[in-house]
Amino acid sequence: MRTIIAALCSILAAVTLAANVARASDEKKAEEKPAAADKADKADKKEAADAKEAPAADEKSGPEKMVLDKTGKMAPVTFPHRKHQEKAACKDCHEGEKPLFEQKRNEKGYLMKEMYAGGTCGKCHDGKKAFKAQGGCMKCHKKEK
Ligand code: HEC
Ligand code: HEC
Ligand code: HEC
């Protein structure tokens, strides 16, 4: 009888020990988790900070949109300037011996025949680099909603 009780006791002790070890390792994992989560959080914050810097630099780079309506012959054109800054470099439009566009509002407006000949907007809106100036008139001649 005694040996049976002793045996039961040692089994119980072994089970308790095993349970404790398991709990301890769970606790250790729980401690590690926040550290990893913290790291991920810091990475997120850095990304957010980087993303914040970009628009700040853009704000000095000309307006987001410009309404081009100097000729008054067609519906005005809302030119998405900021969007173009993402697709092309400033120098593509504003630099060189004969810049495509002055870096200021022009007085005369632009002519379609120049565009069709590959000038101004037509430099890119040629049906290859971007949609063609010669069709889809309303893609450009529209007021922004
Ligand atoms: C796809 C061509 C294109 C690109 C790329 C472009 N711009 Fe422009 N930008 C224009 C046009 C078109 C105008 C308006 C000209 C007009 O009103 O006749 C303009 C006007 C401006 C103006 C004058 C705005 C005002 O209201 O007086 C500034 C400043 C300017 N751009 C800066 C920049 C800078 C800086 C970059 C590069 C980050 C850039 N642009 C990229 C086409 C472009
Ligand atoms: C890539 C953009 C774009 C497309 C596409 C476009 N236009 Fe234009 N258009 C302009 C711009 C910019 C102006 C100058 C706006 C201003 O300053 O008044 C203009 C001016 C005009 C003018 C007045 C100047 C002139 O050339 O007599 C007419 C008319 C005109 N467009 C007709 C059309 C027609 C018709 C189509 C379609 C076959 C068309 N446009 C397609 C951008 C575009
Ligand atoms: C340096 C090249 C370049 C020049 C110059 C240029 N564009 Fe674009 N434009 C693009 C590209 C690339 C796209 C995007 C591709 C597409 O939509 O076919 C685009 C797209 C657009 C769009 C559609 C934007 C959207 O919401 O998706 C409009 C409107 C537009 N251009 C108008 C103009 C007008 C008006 C001019 C002249 C004042 C002009 N673009 C000059 C390259 C140019």
pLDDT at 3: 54
Q: What residue ranges do the domains of the chain occupy?
A: 66-140
CATH second-level architecture of 66-140?
Answer: Alpha-Beta Complex (3.90)
User: Per residue in 1-59, pLDDT tens?
Assistant: 555 545 544 544 544 444 444 454 444 444 444 444 444 454 454 444 444 444 444 44
pTM to 2 decimals?
0.78
pLDDT at 62: 84
Distances (CA, A) of 125 to 19, 86, 93, 128, 139: 72, 16, 13, 7, 11
**Is the distance from CB of 74 to CB of 115 less than 8 angstroms?**
no
Confidence of residue 95 (pLDDT cuts 50, 70, 90): very high
Distance 15 CA to ligand 1 centre (A): 76
pLDDT at 81: 96
Distance CA 106, CA 115 (A): 16
* Site to substitute for ligand 2 among 141, 142, 143, most atoms within 8 A of C-beta: 141
Residue ID of nearest Cα to ligand 2 atom 43: 140
Q: Is the CB of 108 under 6 A from ligand 1?
A: no
Residue ID of nearest Cα to ligand 2 atom 9: 112
68 forms bridges with which residues in the sheet? 77
Residue ID of nearest Cα to ligand 1 atom 6: 90
